[in-house]
Amino acid sequence: MPEKQIAPKTRPTRINPTVRNALERLNDFGEIYCEYTPEQAVEEASRCIKCKDPACMKACPLHNNIKEWLTLVAEGRLIEAAASSRATSNMPEICGRICPQDRLCEGACVLGIKYDPVAIGPLERFINEHAFRHLGVIPAPELARPVGRRVAIVGAGPAGLSCAEELVKLGYRATVFEARPFPGGLLLYGIPSFKLEKRVVERRVEYLEEIGVEFACNTKIGDDPGIDDLLALGYEAIFISTGATVPKRPRMEGMDLAGIHDALPFLIRNNVPAKYLSPSDGAKDDLRGKTVVVLGGGDTAMDSVRTARRLGAARVICAYRRDEENMPGSRREVKAAKDEGIEFQWLTAPLAFIGDEKGLVKKVRCERMQLGAPDGEGRRRPEAIAGSEFDLPADFIVLAFGFDPAPLRNGDGRLRLTRWGTYEIDENKMTSWPGIFAGGDIARGADLLVTANKDGRDAALGIDRYLRNRRPL
């Protein structure tokens, strides 16, 4: 039994990083978790019982060497621990901040059966910040001799950035084409600074430039230039990582009322510094004194409710059609939202929006749900309770129902899509068009930073294999 492995000396409770007071943190968009002291980190890492076959490493999509770096931290070898964490991850300081660890590494930690799991995420963040403070830079990796071949990457989110880094390490010239003014994808243009400060993403991008990744921002790949144009320019393979950011929009009465907003543009215009925005992103919202209703229950909904509070909303309500147990978002984010005064209406689905005579939204008509039989994925399906309609007051509504993929415009069918609109890919991440690869949200549907990172790494290896087979280096 796994419990037998638990050494009697292991402290049952974990040391969590200090969290900023909820009232204080609503005054700014800074990160809410403080960092460990080195002593706290050593003590927390010492709780690891060094399982023979660590479940945490299997549960991490990158299969990070968690046991190795926890051991190094426990021995006080913090810089070496950071180096170990960088060996399998392209952005460990970011994963440590925003991975839903309760569903991944920490959720699998054997200690968690009886006690608190080891705080793997906060430790991953700490060792990398500690190393940066001491070294002044993210250390450059070993780079292979240049092979004189070029690869294009379309989309500078975590999948594209990881693929570019791995290709440069293998000796390729990697150019990342990005539609936005700055690289980062959703890490910059979506995830709010109270989870991930922009300086952390900027630092990663500087590091990538330093090791030789080239960026062509403000360049949308589609019809002109398109894939054929990139091939004609001499790129021998292309990795598409354009993400899944097309909002799912329900068909509901009142959708045309003023005051109803899609979540991602709302997060972008209110969280991204002006220097990275285009005029079409719009101005910040002033929500002082307003009642905001956010519809949805994932990470995007949690980020939206918490952003609305920071913009001064008097009341913020999150309405979700399942219960708290069955929310897709990370437990940590739900707790942070509750601490910040967000009201939750569980088992609540919207039916229609109701406006006033000026066409401004004023209410959301909702109905209560109950959970029925499990669906194809094993999640209990919400079912409406007859006659349970009620109205929620609302001056401003944010729709956070999830996202569809954002494939390139490609009318000639050479890039085959699945029925979910993602690219069809093989085990090397190659699409139906030889030499064109895809990964991250565009290939798996809206998912996670860590899986995008993994796809980028795997695609770089797939591209390397493909190019070597085609014409040896």
Q: According to the binding rule CB under 6 A, does residue 191 interact with ligand FAD?
A: yes
Alpha-carbon span 352 to 366, nearest angstrom: 7
Nearer to ligand SF4, 392 or 452 (CB): 452
Interface residue list for ligand SF4 (CB under 6 A): 60, 62, 64, 66, 89, 95-96, 99, 101, 104-105, 120-121, 124, 450
Instruction: Return the ∠ at Cα 318 (arms to 249 and 125), rounded to 5°.
Output: 95
Buried b (16+ CB within 10 A) or exposed e, 41-56: bbbbbbbbbebeebbb
Q: According to the binding rule CB under 6 A, does residue 94 interact with ligand FAD?
A: no
Q: Which does 104 bind (CB under 5 to 8 A by kind): ligand SF4, ligand FAD, none?
A: ligand SF4
Q: Which does 193 bind (CB under 5 to 8 A by kind): ligand FAD, ligand SF4, none?
A: none
Q: Which does 241 bind (CB under 5 to 8 A by kind): ligand FAD, ligand SF4, none?
A: ligand FAD
Q: According to the binding rule CB under 6 A, does residue 449 interact with ligand FAD?
A: yes
436, two tokens: 């064109």
Nearer to ligand SF4, 69 or 172 (CB): 69
Tell which positions 300-329 bind ligand FAD, by CB under 6 A: 300, 303
Cβ count near 58 (within 10 Å): 12
Q: How far is the CB of 100 from ligand SF4 (least distance, A)?
A: 8
Q: According to the binding rule CB under 6 A, does residue 99 interact with ligand FAD?
A: yes
Q: According to the binding rule CB under 6 A, does residue 438 interact with ligand FAD?
A: no
Q: Which does 121 bind (CB under 5 to 8 A by kind): ligand FAD, ligand SF4, none?
A: ligand SF4
Q: According to the binding rule CB under 6 A, does residue 241 interact with ligand FAD?
A: yes
Q: According to the binding rule CB under 6 A, does residue 89 interact with ligand FAD?
A: no
Size of the site for ligand FAD (CB under 6 A): 40
The burial of 355, by beta-carbon neighbours within 10 Å (0-12 exposed, 13-18 middle, 19 or more buried), is given as middle
Q: According to the binding rule CB under 6 A, does residue 383 interact with ligand FAD?
A: no
Phi, psi of 408 (to 5 degrees): -65, 155
Q: According to the binding rule CB under 6 A, does residue 341 interact with ligand FAD?
A: no
In the list 40, 65, 245, 410, the residue contacting ligand FAD (rule: CB under 6 A) is 245
Per-residue three-class SS string for the chain: CHHHHCCCCCCCCCCCCCECCHHHHCCCCCCCECCCCHHHHHHHHCCCCCCCCCHHHHHCCCCCCHHHHHHHHHCCCHHHHHHHHHCCCCCHHHHHHHCCHHHCHHHHCHHHHCCCCCCHHHHHHHHHHHHHHHHCCCCCCCCCCCCCCEEEEECCCHHHHHHHHHHHHCCCEEEEECCCCCCCHHHCCCCCCCCCCHHHHHHHHHHHHHHCCEEECCCCCCCCCCHHHHHHCCEEEEEECCCCCEECCCCCECCCCECEEEHHHHHHHHHCCHHHCCHHHCCCCCCCCCEEEEECCCHHHHHHHHHHHHCCCCEEEEECCCCHHHCCCCHHHHHHHHHCCCEEECCEEEEEEEECCCCEEEEEEEEEEEEEEECCCCCEEEEECCCCCEEEECCEEEECCCEECCCCCCCCCCCCECCCCCECCCCCCECCCCCEEECCHHHHCCCCHHHHHHHHHHHHHHHHHHHHHHCCC
Q: According to the binding rule CB under 6 A, does residue 295 interact with ligand FAD?
A: no
Q: How far is the CB of 153 from ligand FAD (least distance, A)?
A: 9
Q: According to the binding rule CB under 6 A, does residue 167 interact with ligand FAD?
A: no
Q: How far is the CB of 407 from ligand SF4 (least distance, A)?
A: 27
Q: Which does 254 bind (CB under 5 to 8 A by kind): ligand FAD, ligand SF4, none?
A: none
In the list 59, 154, 268, 292, the residue contacting ligand FAD (rule: CB under 6 A) is 154
Nearer to ligand SF4, 254 or 329 (CB): 329
Q: How far is the CB of 133 from ligand SF4 (least distance, A)?
A: 20
Tell which positions 406-435 bind ligand FAD, by CB under 6 A: 406, 408
Nearer to ligand FAD, 40 or 90 (CB): 90
Q: How far is the CB of 54 from ligand SF4 (least distance, A)?
A: 11
Picking from 175, 164, 178, 158, the residue whose alpha carbon sits closest to that of residue 235 is 175
Q: How far is the CB of 124 from ligand SF4 (least distance, A)?
A: 5
Q: Which does 96 bind (CB under 5 to 8 A by kind): ligand SF4, ligand FAD, none?
A: ligand SF4
Residue span binding ligand FAD (CB under 6 A) among the ranges 26-34, 62-70, 177-185, 426-434: 177-185
Q: How far is the CB of 309 from ligand FAD (least distance, A)?
A: 15
Q: According to the binding rule CB under 6 A, does residue 177 interact with ligand FAD?
A: yes
Binding residues for ligand FAD, rule: CB under 6 A, are 98-99, 154-160, 177-180, 185-186, 190-191, 195, 220-222, 241-243, 245, 264, 267, 299-300, 303, 406, 408, 440-442, 447-450, 452
